[in-house]
Chain A
Amino acid sequence: MKVFFEQYFDFHIMGEHFGEVFEAFLQNLLIFFVAAIIALIWGLVLALFRQAPGKKFIPIRVLTIAYIDVLRAVPLLIIILMISGGVPFLDFLPKDIRIPHWLGKPDPFWYGVAALVFVYGAYMAEVYRAGIEAVPSGQMEAARSLGMSHLQAMRHIIVPQAVTKVPAPMLNELISLLKDTTLVSVIAFGESVLVSREILAEQLNSSALVLTAAFFLVICLPGARLVDYLIKRNQGKMSRGAHIEVA
């Protein structure tokens, strides 16, 4: 028991490396924000492709479904390793894309963002789809009967309603996304887990990992509570005018 506490709860080591770990955690947040913004858009695009109507869009629907299924089934860690290990060798791409150093960020950062966007785009597409499918089909029929095209109906009728139904599950995805930014450590990007493990290798003590966990707790716990609150509020809205709080 004593060894356990010495190994993971050495507050001296936590204090000594606080600044270092905090700075690295900011890198996690940065990956998160960049990846989240792109993935939210990419996911919506995928969801709309998946709903594209009629015969002529069959190839798009099939491709989109295949993409979503595959990317949800393959471990994110493997996607990260494949992108960072494979993309540099794609000779037909310009060097700036093969080895990106955009905005002063090193290539592992962008490989990590790309992998997170690819995978979380697929997850988020499913969240949007659930939202779209939760809009009663009569809405689409009504919009089409008023002479709107499928795209117009989607844009003005369906998506605005669907979007109100996605925040809670989407927030869950975002919490996962934030935690999964630590996987980018495997391609040597200096985020908090990598830095903590470096400290572990130097000091032979794992307390920096617990400190990192604490940073994630501070961000993710309120997030989880917010999800619960949103779900509850949404249930209230759904239950036709019954605003009775059930204790």
Chain B
Amino acid sequence: MAVLLVGVVALVVAGCGGGDSSTSSGTTATEEPAETGGGGATEEETGEEEPSGGGEKLTVGSDIPYPPFEQGKKGSYTGFDVELMEAIGKEIGREPEFIDSSFETIFRDVAQGKFEAVMSAATITEEREKVVDFSTPYYLSEQAILVKEGSDIKGLADLKGKVVAAQQGTTGLELGKEKAEASELRPYPEGPDADNALKAGTVEAVIIDAPVAKQQAEELGGIEIVEKVPTDETYGIAVEKGNTELIEQINEGLKKAIADGSYTKVYEKWFKEAPPLEALEKAIEEAESK
């Protein structure tokens, strides 16, 4: 067993060859990349072969689908995160390539170099900052309580003793654990699973990111948002710990995208409302001063 593993590691290291400088590797060549095969490695290599501005690939991990942040089919992913990353990429001369990945392992994966960045509607938390570095905030988030239309649940306070669902590994689940006093809290692997359970009547409420809740309520019908809970949460783009070069680039790109209006354009397209630019800029300043 051990011999086999050593073999696999050796193969991976050999495969990555000639030291890939773009991802300040170190402990990155582990078993994880072996599973996803050479795909990621070759893409990074091609990126290296043509380092001239415009086209250098930036691999971004994301748990797709999570509309309206990330959605669509492989090869043509879209959504707020995807388009904002493209806007940032334009500013810094990198071409983002999104890779679908499970949210619960996504930070471990970026820490191990499976991809260079994570952009997956990910809240910046202290726990996560221990394993990855975050960019400045690019989105201010709220959690929403979704219920069936006509439910007697009017908000967070009414969740006491109820069966409540959330998505595994998300802040909605944390909020449920801390504040809901639910009789049972069910962590579903994907957000839409939780919505289905709500429609089916097997759970009585779902706690999930507000924009996601809004879109799902519109599309599914029969369910509605009863309360939005501000959480002081912000979303950030994560990279492998210590990769300050990339973080600085991304921060710079984000600032430019906000300044030249491309952020507003993407925001309005996906959320059908104007972005809270002042609050966002304040949050960015706060993050920078830390």
Contact = CB atoms under 8 A, between A and B. Distances in A.
Interface of A: 1-4, 7, 84-85, 88-89, 98-99, 106-108, 185-190, 194, 197-198, 200-202, 204-206
A198 B112 contact: no
A188 B30 contact: no
A188 B5 contact: no
B169 A201 contact: yes
A3 B201 contact: no
A204 B197 contact: no
B270 interface: no
B189 A1 contact: no
Interface stretch (B90-98, B103-111, B225-233, B254-262): B103-111
11 contacts: A1-B5, A3-B112, A7-B108, A99-B202, A108-B186, A187-B188, A198-B168, A201-B169, A204-B111, A204-B127, A206-B108
A3 B113 CA distance: 12
Nearest to A185: B189
Contacts of B201: 88, 98-99
B279 interface: no
B175 interface: no
A107 B168 contact: no
Interface string B191-218: 0011011001110000000000000000
Nearest to B27: A3
A187 B112 CA distance: 29
Contacts of A190: 186
A198 B187 CA distance: 8
Given A84-B202, A85-B196, A106-B163, A4 B5 contact: yes
Contacts of A194: 168, 187
B200 A89 contact: yes
A188 B197 contact: yes
Nearest to A87: B200
B165 interface: yes
A205 B131 CA distance: 11
Given A106-B163, A197-B104, A204-B131, A1 B202 contact: no
B243 to A, nearest CB: 16
A15 B273 CA distance: 48
Q: Which of B108, B197, B201, B202 gathers most chain A CB within 10 Å?
A: B202
B202 A88 contact: yes
Contacts of B200: 84-85, 88-89, 99
Given A3-B30, A4-B5, A188 B193 contact: yes
A145 to B, nearest CB: 56
A194 B6 CA distance: 30
Contact of A188 (B6, B27, B103, B165): B165
Contact of B187 (A2, A188, A206): A188
Contacts of A202: 127, 169
Nearest to A89: B200
Interface string B100-136: 0001110110011000000000000001101100000
A165 B147 CA distance: 53
A106 B31 contact: no
Nearest to B189: A186
Interface in B48-107: 103-105, 107
Residue from the set B163, B194, B197 with the largest chain A CB neighbour count within 10 Å: B197
B9 interface: yes
Contacts of A1: 5-6, 9, 30
B196 A201 contact: no
Interface string B1-24: 000011001000000000000000
Contacts of A200: 104-105, 169
B184 interface: yes
Contacts of A185: 189
B169 A4 contact: no
A198 B189 CA distance: 10
A107 B189 contact: no
Interface centre among A2, A197, A206 (most CB of B within 10 A): A197
A201 B266 CA distance: 30
Q: Which 7 A-B pairs have the closest CB atoms?
A: A201-B169, A88-B200, A188-B186, A201-B104, A188-B188, A3-B30, A107-B202
A205 B112 CA distance: 12
B41 to A, nearest CB: 17
Nearest to A1: B9
B168 A201 contact: yes
A185 B163 CA distance: 17
Q: Which of A1, A3, A89 has the most CB of B within 10 A?
A: A3
Contacts of B112: 3
